[in-house]
Structures are given as structure tokens and as C-alpha cells.
Amino acid sequence: MTRYLVGSISELTPGSKKIIQAGGRSVGVYNLGGELYAIRNLCPHQSAGLCEGITSSFVTSTGPGEFCFEHEGEIARCPWHFWEFNIKTGQMMVDPKVRTKTYDVEVERFDVSVDEQQVFVHM
């Protein structure tokens, strides 16, 4: 398994994302409430840059005029046809058999004197 540098942890504040090139692939790295996740920036529908869409919630409804927002800030919505994927699992929200690849993310302190931490993705 090879690891690729994402950048400094200070670039990935909660709620933010960063798209990197790693091993010939485009990968989106997300900070969801302090936890880091990485998914392939490739929509399984028609190969759009999945991570280039908005990060949102999954909206459900039990009836007219009633809405519930689930997985707040944990959904990657494809910019082309709006398929939605759970960033934590890579699974499509309405059909979990469809998924985009997920990757492990590691945070490493490289210079204790400045208390700086680097983020790596494993592929």
C-alpha cells in the first residue's frame, strides 16, 4: 500500500474538502466533524468528478411538506446528475450496491516543534 501526501491538517478544517491527485487517480479528502475520509473523485454513473459537487445532507420525507435532513454534511452530490454518495462508506444513498472507492486516511505529526500535522491517503 502506498501513501500519498494530502497536505497540512490546517488545510482541512471541519466541513472542508481537498481534491488531490494520487497514484494517477483523483481523490477527495473530507473533514467531517473532525474525522477524515477519502473517496475517489469519480462518479460510477458517467464518470463525473464526484467530489467537485456540493457536500450536503440526505433529504427524506414521510409525506407532503415534511422533510428530514439525514447525514448532515456527509453526502457528496455529483454535479452532473445529482447522484448522492455517503462520504463515510462510498455507497450511493438510494442504492447502496453502487459505490465509489473509499481510502484510509492517516494524520501524522511530522514536526513536533511547530506542532504541524500532515495528512496522508493510503491507496
Binding site for ligand FES (CB under 6 A): 43, 45-46, 48, 78, 80-81, 83
Q: State the nearest-atom distance from the C-beta of 51 to ligand FES, in Å.
A: 11
Which CB, 46 or 113, lies closer to ligand FES? 46
The owner of cell 455507497 is: 91
Q: State the nearest-atom distance from the C-beta of 42 to ligand FES, in Å.
A: 9
Q: State the nearest-atom distance from the C-beta of 35 to ligand FES, in Å.
A: 25
Which CB, 56 or 117, lies closer to ligand FES? 56
